[in-house]
Copies of this chain bind each other. A is one copy, B any other.
Amino acid sequence: MSTKPTIALAGGTSRFDQVLSRLEHFNTIFYPVPATKEELFKDCLPGGPLANVEGLFCSWPAFYAMGGLKTEEEIAQLPASLKVVALCATGYDQFNVAAFRKRGIIVTNTPSMEPSHSGEQVADIALYLSIGCMRKIPLFEGSFQREKNSIDARRVVAQGEFDPASGQVLGGPPSGFAFGDLTAKGPARMCRNRAVGVAGLGNIGKAIVRRLAPLGVEIHYYKRSELSAEELAASNLPSDLIFHSSFDDLCAASDQLILALPGGADTLNIVNKRTLNLMPRGASIVNIGRGTLINEDDLLEALGSKQIATAGLDVQVGEPFVNPKLFGRWDIQLLPHLGSGTEDNALAAELNVIDNIENVLNGGPGLHPVN
């Protein structure tokens, strides 16, 4: 008699028939998002719902709110039967993957390119925020929703007083004419010829660079080692990218900084008061990497002083519980971690997770192991 292996689907799945029919190959436990680590560990004890699971289908928010699994003590409390944690995400900074390896648990992720194209989708969001921040679009959008007249909206943004506390432009009697060439009394510049610095030139960073190229911007990047002409050509990247071997140098050179770095201890608060002050006055910042890359208090201070003009944040510290001060500002374009949040990616990523679980449970090393 063949018995189906038991897996737990943590945090839910989308509603795809293709996924549900594949889950029938397993004894699948639908496990809701636990509120606390204590709740999770209790459910791992003998008799608990997770007691005998061999695989964990782990949706992105499954363990995010409770703070991930980062210590050996925590990981020791997972079921002894567990062989694979398959993440339905590219990033894995919620998990101490080395400690999982030590316990013999394989962790797999969803690669950012084929089959899901999730990295391309994150890059589309980065491009959206890049243009929005360079052209200071949210300031005009906020003003337009308030003034309800397109010329007044532009006049107010150009000539009104910027309020550091709210990040909005105050009203008052508009006078004279504005072409739209000012925002909050600072220049509104075209994208063309601006220096855009991409921090992190992995698959996502490269996809961002390919999208930026037609805008005529000057593209800088920071990476441990410079890409050769052959490597640039192989990735279909422009040959005139400007390399920086240090993050500080990239900040100093960039009218806009795009963060495409992974999270974790190495990059914690890499954008802080010191590095923000290295940037040219009136620069902008886009973050599609991880919220932890930015010290948000320092960013808010820099926005208030207009050292930084605009920020586009698809990720925030402490997601899903976001600093209330980030809301309602016209100088912050705030997205709820849209990244690759599409039907296309959900389907591809979920099928990929099942492929990874099957591979490990059949004795393989995992298709996309990260530890």
Contact = CB atoms under 8 A, between A and B. Distances in A.
Contacts of A342: 135, 180-181, 187-190
B144 A334 contact: yes
Contacts of A316: 150
A57 to B, nearest CB: 12
Contacts of A340: 190
A292 to B, nearest CB: 14
Given A214-B211, A336-B154, A179 B341 contact: yes
A324 interface: yes
Contacts of A181: 14, 341-343, 345-347
Contacts of A341: 154, 179-181, 188
A212 B186 CA distance: 29
A199 B211 CA distance: 22
A190 B344 contact: yes
Interface in A19-60: 33, 59-60
A150 B343 contact: no
19 contacts: A12-B176, A14-B181, A65-B151, A88-B179, A117-B192, A120-B192, A124-B131, A125-B131, A127-B215, A144-B334, A148-B322, A150-B337, A179-B345, A180-B336, A180-B342, A188-B341, A189-B342, A189-B343, A211-B215
Interface of A: 11-14, 33, 59-61, 64-65, 88, 117, 120-121, 124-125, 127-128, 131-132, 135, 137, 140-141, 143-145, 148-154, 176-182, 187-192, 210-211, 213-216, 316, 319-322, 324, 327-328, 333-347
